[in-house]
Structure 1
Amino acid sequence: MQTTGNTILITGGGSGIGRGLAEAFQKLGNTVIIAGRREGVLAGTAKAHPGMQYLTLDTGSVESIQAFTKELTRRFPALNVVVHSAGIMKTENLREGDTAIAEETIDINLLGPIRLTAALMPTLLKQPHAAILTVSSGLAFTPLSLNPTYCATKAAIHSYTQSLRYQLRDTAVRVIELVPPYVQTELTGEHQARDPMAMPLKDYLEETMRLLQESSDAHEILVERVKPQRFAEARGEYDAFYTKFNDMLVKVRTSR
């Protein structure tokens, strides 16, 4: 994708990977708008980076997406890039027979990007060059049993991204999937930001931005650390990798 001269919306841009991408894209000379549910966090991020704009958005709400899109496109008619980084990741015990976490996760992680993409499509198609960046996960390809619906939504985002890319193949809209590994953010809580098993956020952002700039035709942005998860099945290693991966992480998580 073109990495300079854009007007970029980044959902979940107040923290974690979303904030890191917002900072990186602004440094390259792009106009950046961050969005999320926590106005205080967004305002703090924007204040720390003069010129960065923010709007509140609940990606789990149809009404919020509709109102947000109207305001966003009114204020930023040149919008040509959207990065779907907002998401939640909660532990589920499927034996409890409760679907509340699953439904919330699907609304935010899956329906949110689908609905927002649909709402922004007319604007994106008007631009001479545009891009839609979805954020899946290594867990889309090798899931973690503690977070079944999160992993399922990321697998669905991968599939949706492929279809979106194919349907837009004869337009000026590029479709790119970012596939993070386990990264030091607060997605699952403060402990994750300090977990030595996770990839340092700074390292993930540097490698990702380099790949976006160097790999102009890439459909997936894969840092080296996520490739064992991404390609376990293709390499004929899936069953063994899945069992080892889950045994290790379930032991670590449940011992906290």
Structure 2
Amino acid sequence: MDISGNTIFIPGATSGIGLALALALRDKGNTVIVGGRRTELLARIAAENPGIDTVRIDTADPASIAAAAAEVLDRHPDLDALVAMAGIMRVEDWHKPESFLDSAEEIITTNVLGPIRLIAAFVGHFQTRPAATIVTVSSGLAFAPLKATPSYNASKAAIHMLSESLRLQLADTGVRVMELVPPAVRTALMPGQETSEWAMPLDEFVAEVVALLESDPDAQEIQVERVKFLRYAEARGDYPQVVATLNDADPHGK
């Protein structure tokens, strides 16, 4: 994806990585549409950030996705990029099935079915464009598990393989598939993560992502240096040590 001149829809961008990335891409000369559930928050984002458009969307609701897609394409018929950012992460204790099942199902609905439904809503339009980009968002935990978050880990592994498969299927079109692979970043995704020393500062993460997009607009995966410890554990042959280190270092792993 070229770093400028795009029209980009980012559902799940009212805070954290999504909002920071939306503002960074806006500043690089893109038209950016932020999606989220809370209309009052969307209104504030639009008022405080000139050039950012907003659309209400609940990515766990198929009807909301369909309505938001229609609204985005009506207002921005030149849309040529989607960043499927929305996601949730929760601690689960699988010793007690009554304590985790509802949460696990919500994670899969949001993190897996949400991106699938979003891509389905836009991929037909994207094939009419000269070039378009679908950006999925997985995680370093797709490649090495945090024991406290089984469903989240599984959801991000699914997104990785979905990205790999779609890239193969859409190779005969002008639609590119990029996978953003974040490490732990200082956001409110998990309690205590915003101030945690083991998480990467948000501004540093976004700056490195933008630099990677600028240097290699055709990259299949956007990997900051910090995530490679997890991403390539199996390839390096130190997977058991990486998993042990991850779960010893991360307070949610205990």
TM-score bracket, normalised by the shorter chain, equals: over 0.9
Cα distance in 2 for partners of 1:30, 1:209 equals 13
Q: 1:233 is aligned with what amino acid?
A: E
Cα distance in 2 for partners of 1:194, 1:240 equals 26
Cα offset, 1:39, TM superposition: 2.0
Query: How many positions carry a matched residue from both structures?
Result: 252
Q: Return 72-81 or 103-112, whichever deviates more.
A: 72-81
Consecutive unaligned residues of structure 2, counting only runs of 5 or more, are none
TM-score normalised per structure 2: 0.96
Cα distance in 2 for partners of 1:169, 1:254 equals 39
Cα distance in 1 for partners of 2:120, 2:209 equals 26
Cα distance in 2 for partners of 1:140, 1:60 equals 21
- Aligned-residue CA RMSD in angstroms? 1.2
Instruction: Classify the secondary structure of the residue corresponding to 2:235.
Output: coil
Cα distance in 2 for partners of 1:43, 1:148 equals 35
Cα offset, 1:254, TM superposition: 7.5
Instruction: Classify the secondary structure of the residue corresponding to 1:86.
Output: coil
Matches within 5 A, 1:151-170: 151-170=153-172
Cα offset, 1:62, TM superposition: 1.0
Instruction: Classify the secondary structure of the residue corresponding to 2:234.
Output: coil
Distance 1:80 1:244, change over 3 A: same
Matches within 5 A, 1:200-239: 200-239=201-240
Instruction: Classify the secondary structure of the residue corresponding to 2:172.
Output: coil
Cα offset, 1:23, TM superposition: 0.3
Cα offset, 1:223, TM superposition: 0.5
Can you list the C-alpha shifts for 1:141-172, whole angstroms capped at 9, x where unaligned?
01111111011000000000000111111211
1:6 aligns with 2:6: yes
Percent sequence identity is: 48
Consecutive unaligned residues of structure 1, counting only runs of 5 or more, are none
Instruction: Classify the secondary structure of the residue corresponding to 2:88.
Output: coil
TM-score normalised per structure 1: 0.95
Distance 1:22 1:170, change over 3 A: same
Can you list the C-alpha shifts for 1:47-88, whole angstroms capped at 9, x where unaligned?
111121101111111111111112121111111100011111
Contact preservation (8 Å) 1:81, 1:131: yes
Cα distance in 2 for partners of 1:124, 1:25 equals 19
Cα distance in 1 for partners of 2:5, 2:162 equals 27
Matches within 5 A, 1:124-135: 124-135=126-137
